[in-house]
A = this chain, B = another copy of it.
Amino acid sequence: MTYDLWYWNGIPGRGEFVRLALEAGGIPYRERAREPGTDETTLIEDMQSARKHPPFAPPYLVAGKMTLGQTANILLYLGEKHGLAPDSLEGRLWVNQLQLTIADMVAEAHDTHHPISASEYYEDQMEEAARRARVFREERIPKFLDYFERVLGGPDRWLAGGKDWTYVDLSLFHLVDGLLYAFPKRMGTIAAHYPNVFALHERVTALPALQAYFASGRRLPFGEGVFRQYRELDAA
Asked, given contacts A54-B151, A72-B100, A147-B56, whether A115 binds B93 with beta carbons under 8 Å apart, the answer is no
Q: Does A229 contact B (CB under 8 A)?
A: no
Give Cα A34–Cα B125 distance, bound, in whole angstroms: 41
Binary contact track A96-107/B, C-beta < 8 Å → 1, others 0: 110011001001
Please, which residues of chain B bring their CB within 8 A of the CB of A69?
Answer: 97, 101
* Chain B nearest Cβ from A185, distance in angstroms: 20
Q: Does A111 contact B (CB under 8 A)?
A: yes
The A interface, classified by DSSP as helix, strand, loop or mixed, is helix
Q: Does A139 contact B (CB under 8 A)?
A: yes
Contact B66 A90, beta carbon cutoff 8 Å: yes
Please, which residues of chain B bring their CB within 8 A of the CB of A107?
Answer: 104, 107
**From residue 176 to 221 of chain A, which have CB atoms closer than 8 A to chain B?**
none
Q: Which of B56, B101, B117 contacts A132 (CB 8 A)?
A: B117
Please, which residues of chain B bring their CB within 8 A of the CB of A68?
Answer: 93, 97
Please, which residues of chain B bring their CB within 8 A of the CB of A94?
Answer: 53
- Classify chain A: how many residues form its interface, as a range: 35 or more
Give Cα A55–Cα B100 distance, bound, in whole angstroms: 11
Please, which residues of chain B bring their CB within 8 A of the CB of A96?
Answer: 70, 73, 76
Asked, given contacts A128-B115, A132-B115, whether A73 binds B56 with beta carbons under 8 Å apart, the answer is no
Please, which residues of chain B bring their CB within 8 A of the CB of A111?
Answer: 111, 115
Please, which residues of chain B bring their CB within 8 A of the CB of A151?
Answer: 54
Contact A97 B128, beta carbon cutoff 8 Å: no
18 contacts between A and B (CB under 8 A): A53-B90, A53-B94, A54-B147, A54-B150, A54-B151, A66-B90, A72-B72, A73-B96, A76-B93, A100-B100, A104-B107, A111-B111, A115-B116, A116-B135, A119-B135, A120-B135, A125-B131, A128-B131
Give Cα A73–Cα B117 distance, bound, in whole angstroms: 28
Contact A97 B53, beta carbon cutoff 8 Å: yes
Q: Identify 7 new A-B residue pairs, CB closer than 8 A, beyond the known A54-B147, A115-B132.
A: A69-B101, A70-B101, A76-B93, A111-B111, A116-B128, A117-B139, A128-B128
